[in-house]
């Protein structure tokens, strides 16, 4: 069973049979269900090709009963969003004594919560854009005065850029907040950073080559991530090796201070002055044909099937 004390240790498994029976937990009930199903199918296919005894499970409200009936040795968690990336399924698996991939309950819960993520990063002295929690009582004039324009509005507990809006003027703030609160009672306004967006994949405390993202969209939104063919991914990212190494270490520090472990991704912006600004951490990133983790792994010489195997190894702590 996964224990917090050794989650960041590196484990190597040589035989598929050593994993035992593996439940691939996918789908779920979140707004990211469709992406999770695609990620799950890709992961399941890789495990089959590697000879692992894997079973697909489309997670619903009966998941506790499903997992209790069948004795699985471990679970590959590939549920995106609420219920899968927020510590909930991790707590279920802990209760049942089933080992699982990725972060534990606390790390998953903190990374899913953008507001707490930023509070922890700020408290740890790590750079993250200035922000304000929005409520019905918020003075939007004061918000605008503090953050300036543009501002980006985000639901605190959603992924894949769902419910996010860029706000360029005061009249857009209210509608953007209303849009975000359709997905979450907790909404944050964050200072817009003008610059390039990067992502760092982390696997067993190793930072993979960084990817620079380029999209003609207003920002790297749901369409740019999963639908459009106009998004460009630069890997190598174009930075000098020394600067990339420093930023990879920043991402590792940001990941670890949140209690995240196993595998994940840290996203940040690099402004025009070369200052990095941490945006968010993901503990169950996408594994589709548009996803960033497989791209970074490929740049590091790790095939998709090898990547899935290595992620499964994170359940062995």
Q: Which residue has the higher pLDDT, 290 or 94?
A: 94
Q: Are residues 210 and 154 in the same domain?
A: no
DSSP state of 15: -
- Cite the active site residues: 32, 160, 226, 265, 267, 280, 282, 286
Which two structure tokens, joined as six digits, stand for 231? 């998004």
Q: Is residue 108 part of a domain?
A: no
pLDDT, tens digit (0-9, with 9 covering 90-100), for 57-100: 999 989 988 898 888 999 999 999 889 999 999 999 999 999 99
Q: Is residue 37 part of a domain?
A: yes
Global confidence as pTM: 0.89
Residue where one domain finishes, among candidates 102, 122, 147: 102
Which two structure tokens, joined as six digits, stand for 270? 């690099």
Q: Are residues 205 and 137 in the same domain?
A: no
Q: Tell me the CA end-to-end span of the chain in Å, nearest whole number.
A: 7
Q: Are residues 165 and 198 in the same domain?
A: no
Print the domain residue range for 201. 194-316
pLDDT, tens digit (0-9, with 9 covering 90-100), for 187-234: 899 999 999 999 999 999 999 999 999 876 655 555 555 555 777 899
Q: Are residues 144 and 162 in the same domain?
A: yes
Number of domains present in the structure of the chain = 3
Q: Are residues 14 and 52 in the same domain?
A: yes
Q: Is residue 217 part of a domain?
A: yes
- pLDDT of 160 higher than 80: no
Q: Are residues 210 and 312 in the same domain?
A: yes
Q: 3-class DSSP state for residue 48?
A: helix
Q: Is residue 268 part of a domain?
A: yes
> Strand 131-134 and strand 99-100: pairing?
unpaired
Which two structure tokens, joined as six digits, stand for 27? 């789908």
What is the rounded distance in angstroms from the CA atom of residue 218 to the CA atom of residue 156? Answer: 20
Mean pLDDT of the chain: 89
Domain containing residue 295: CATH number:
3.30.470.20
Q: Are residues 198 and 311 in the same domain?
A: yes
Q: Are residues 210 and 181 in the same domain?
A: no
């Amino acid at each position: 069973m996964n224990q917090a004390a050794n989650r960041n240790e590196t484990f190597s498994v040589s035989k598929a049979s050593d994993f035992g029976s593996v439940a691939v937990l996918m789908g779920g009930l979140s707004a990211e269900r469709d992406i999770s199903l695609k990620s799950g199918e890709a992961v399941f296919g890789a495990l089959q090709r590697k000879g692992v005894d894997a079973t697909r499970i489309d997670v619903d409200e009966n998941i506790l009963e499903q997992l209790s009936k069948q004795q699985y040795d471990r679970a590959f968690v590939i549920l995106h969003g609420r219920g899968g990336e927020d510590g909930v399924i991790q707590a279920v698996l802990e209760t049942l004594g089933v080992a699982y991939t990725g972060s534990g309950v606390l790390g998953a819960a903190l990374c899913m919560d953008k507001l707490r993520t930023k509070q922890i990063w700020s408290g740890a002295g790590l750079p993250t854009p200035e922000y304000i929690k929005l409520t019905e009582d918020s003075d939007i004039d004061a918000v605008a005065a503090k953050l300036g324009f543009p501002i980006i509005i985000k639901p605190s507990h959603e992924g894949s850029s769902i419910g996010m809006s860029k706000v360029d003027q005061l009249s857009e703030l209210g509608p953007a907040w209303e849009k975000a609160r359709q997905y979450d009672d907790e909404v944050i306004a964050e200072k817009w950073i003008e610059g390039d967006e990067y992502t760092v994949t982390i696997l067993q405390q190793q930072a993979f080559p960084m990817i620079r993202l380029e999209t003609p969209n207003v920002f790297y939104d749901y369409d740019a991530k999963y639908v459009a063919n106009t998004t460009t991914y630069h890997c190598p990212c174009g930075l000098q090796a020394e600067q990339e190494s420093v930023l990879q270490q920043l991402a590792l520090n940001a990941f670890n201070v949140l209690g995240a472990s196993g595998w994940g991704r840290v996203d940040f912006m690099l402004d025009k002055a070369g200052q990095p600004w941490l945006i968010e951490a993901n503990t169950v990133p996408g594994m589709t044909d548009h996803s960033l983790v497989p791209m970074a792994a490929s740049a590091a010489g790790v095939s998709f099937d090898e990547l899935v195997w290595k992620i499964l190894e994170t359940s062995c702590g």
